[in-house]
Structure 1
Amino acid sequence: MDAKIESIEKNDTWELTYLPWGQKIIDVQWVFKTKLNEKGEIDKHKARLVAKGYKQELDTIRLVVSIATQNSWPIFQLDVKSTFPHGDLQEQVYIEQPSGYVKQGNEEKVYRLNKALHILKQAPRAWYSLVDAYFTK
């Protein structure tokens, strides 16, 4: 969790502020995953901060894996740290301070996102815009 918060802050993903009148706040939660190596042994433990309420099924990935399997195509996995937090947001999005990382003396404040968090409905669009601009350039 410390590594994830450090990465988020290093990437200027958010700024602490008061919630503007009329704006809604999005709750966040920690999601934990244990990554295994090829021998089935624990390789590492990962923590991800996600916006609550946006559960997305990865139908596209399932479809691509299915097609690759049917055609005996090789499949490679790439684990990129902090992918979505690099995509800039066009909208104003406010989230609660994450559990375990509430700033003392600023408990009433929220974070205004500058960049997308995982599972935020704006995250894929923000990431795609960044990648598209890079390849277009």
Structure 2
Amino acid sequence: MQEKIKALIQNQTWDLVPRPTIENIVGSKGVFKTKLKEDGTVDRYEAQLVARGFSQIPGLDFGETFSPVIKHTTIRLIISLTATLGWTIRQLDVKNAFLHGFLKEKLFMEQPLGFINEDLLNHVYKLNRSLYGLNKL
């Protein structure tokens, strides 16, 4: 989870701001998965920070839902480069593709458990970019 939080901070996904009095604030949750190899042994552990978008208010926090995804032309370019340069692809994993979706709305999220800034306990994240779990434009 530390790696995911670091990536979110580097991509300026949020700003830590004082808690607003009249805005809706969504929660956050860590989702953890264990990826297994074909033989059933542990391959790796994955973590993801998701927003609890079910607490968003339609018309206030979002209009219609949309999820940005990687473009097929980008994947084709990568595959083309590997063929041209004689590389081999075993797996193509796109990390943090959702981070490139900027938000038009003003959305606030609680600091995630385990990553709360002890000096700014009454602050929340003002989201600049989208997160998994959000209903967004």
Distance 1:26 1:121 in 2: 11
* Identity rate, percent: 43
Residue 49 of structure 1: SS of its match in structure 2?
Answer: strand
Deviation readout 1:80-105 (Å, 9 max, x if unpaired): 11121221111011000010000011
Distance 1:83 1:41 in 2: 28
| Letter aligned with residue 106 of structure 1 | L
Structure showing the higher helix proportion among its residues: 1
Deviation of residue 53 (structure 1)? Answer: 4.8
Aligned to 1:28: 28
Q: Which stretches in structure 1 are left out of the alignment for 5+ residues?
A: 55-76, 126-137
Q: Which stretches in structure 2 are left out of the alignment for 5+ residues?
A: 55-90
Residue 112 of structure 1: SS of its match in structure 2?
Answer: strand
Residue 122 of structure 2 corresponds to residue 103 of structure 1: no
Deviation of residue 78 (structure 1)? Answer: 4.5
| Letter aligned with residue 48 of structure 1 | Q
Q: CA contact under 8 A between 1:85 and 1:118: conserved in structure 2?
A: no
Deviation readout 1:36-85 (Å, 9 max, x if unpaired): 2344332111111111254xxxxxxxxxxxxxxxxxxxxxx853111212
Deviation of residue 109 (structure 1)? Answer: 0.3
Question: What root-mean-square deviation, in Å, do the aligned CA atoms of Structure 1 and Structure 2 show?
Answer: 1.6
Map 1:42-57 → 2, pairs under 5 A: 42-54=42-54
Q: CA contact under 8 A between 2:53 and 2:135: conserved in structure 1?
A: no
Q: Flag the 1:53–1:88 CA change in 2: closer, same or farther, 3 A.
A: closer
| TM-score (norm: length of structure 1) | 0.68
Residue 40 of structure 2 corresponds to residue 40 of structure 1: yes
Match for 2:102 among 81, 88, 92?
Answer: 88
Higher RCO (CA-CA < 8 Å; seq separation 6+): 2
| TM-score (norm: length of structure 2) | 0.68
Aligned to 2:10: 10
Distance 2:49 2:103 in 1: 17
Residue 128 of structure 2 corresponds to residue 114 of structure 1: yes
Distance 1:86 1:34 in 2: 26
